[in-house]
Amino acid sequence: MASKRPTFYCGIHNEEVITNYCCLMGCQTPLCPECIDDHNKRHKLNGVFPEIDTLNRVVAMCEQKAGLVVEELQDMYARLDSATTVDVEEIQSIAHNDLEIMKQKLIDQINIFFSNLYEDFSSKLTTSTQKV
């Protein structure tokens, strides 16, 4: 069952029901049928073209926009939720692999350093024994 919208009465014409709405940014005035003509004239005097629509249509557009906002927020929440999901085992595996790579690089550097030291020692020993 659809809920009935409340009825609002005009503040100028007390018996008239608000049925329209001026959609101009900065105006956004609810209007009864009696107010529309004067409201249009005021905008035209200021060189502005009025944007009056029925209240039912404005409510429907607002509901549609609100629905789009809800969808966008749900999508953003889903993306945030998936971005913050932490797989501890995957992080641990990646860290272990990175550490193994660093360990191997250090071992390679130590082996190179040791080889260079040994070659230098051998060269000096050979040179010294040749002198003797």
pLDDT digit string, tens, across residues 37-48: 999 999 999 898
Residue 71's pLDDT band (boundaries 50, 70, 90)?
very high
Same domain, 39 and 58: yes
Same domain, 43 and 78: yes
The residue segments making up the domain with residue 72 are 20-83
The verdict on residue 15 lying in a domain is no
Same domain, 77 and 116: no
What is the reported pLDDT for 2?
54
Same domain, 77 and 28: yes
The verdict on residue 93 lying in a domain is yes
- Asked if residue 109 has pLDDT above 90, the reply is yes
The verdict on residue 3 lying in a domain is no
Q: What pTM value is reported for the model?
A: 0.50
- Asked if residue 72 has pLDDT above 90, the reply is yes
Region for 47 from its dihedrals, namely left if φ exceeds 0, alpha if ψ lies in -120 to 50, beta otherwise:
left
Q: What is the total count of domains within the chain?
A: 2
The verdict on residue 132 lying in a domain is no
21 and 53 Cβ atoms separated by less than 8 Å: yes
65 and 30 Cβ atoms separated by less than 8 Å: no
The verdict on residue 1 lying in a domain is no
Same domain, 52 and 72: yes
Same domain, 108 and 76: no
- Asked if residue 78 has pLDDT above 70, the reply is yes
- Asked if residue 102 has pLDDT above 80, the reply is yes
Same domain, 57 and 75: yes
- Asked if residue 25 has pLDDT above 70, the reply is yes
Same domain, 51 and 102: no
Give, for 54, the enclosing helix (H) or strand (E).
Answer: strand 52-54
What is the reported pLDDT for 26?
87
Same domain, 78 and 31: yes
Same domain, 57 and 78: yes
